[in-house]
Amino acid sequence: MRTRGDVQANVKSTALALFGWRHNITCMKRMFVSSGIVIASVASLMLILADVAPAQVKFTPPGASPLVPPPPPPPPPPKIEVPKIPQMDQVPRQSYQVAPRPSFSDRVSTCLDEAAASGLGPAEREVYARACANTR
């Protein structure tokens, strides 16, 4: 009757004899180095594909152009002007211009609004609007 240790020893020796494996440390070193190179190249390939994949898969809504226009140029820098410093011996010039008079229809509308706000009836609003629009 065979023991478990005999079966394992027989399987090991048969596998070594079939595949020609030897207990040679240089072969193990080569295999370790080559597997490291393969793993590093696969990892770098995955990183490259991970960077490229999102750029290739773009969702464009229906009716939109797949080409994206370039961003607009940056706005020009603000123009900074130094204010004019008033002189002590000069009288400041100020131009006083009278505001332009509103049109007749604008004056009538304003007067009708004022009459309605003060609670006048329709006939009283008409009289008030005529007098008010002509005096303004």
Helices 104-117 and 122-135 pack at an angle, to 10 degrees, of 140
Q: Quote the pLDDT of residue 14.
A: 54
Q: Is the pLDDT of residue 66 over 60?
A: yes
b or e along 7-18 (b: 16 or more beta carbons within 10 Å of the residue's beta carbon)?
Answer: eeeeeeeeeeee
Q: Quote the pLDDT of residue 5.
A: 57
Q: Quote the pLDDT of residue 44.
A: 82
Find the length of the chain.
136
CA distance 15 to 80: 87
Q: What are the structure tokens assigned to 100, written together?
A: 């332009």
- Considering the entire predicted model, what is its pTM? 0.31
Q: Quote the pLDDT of residue 94.
A: 77
**CA-angle at 110, arms to 109 and 112, nearest 5°:** 65
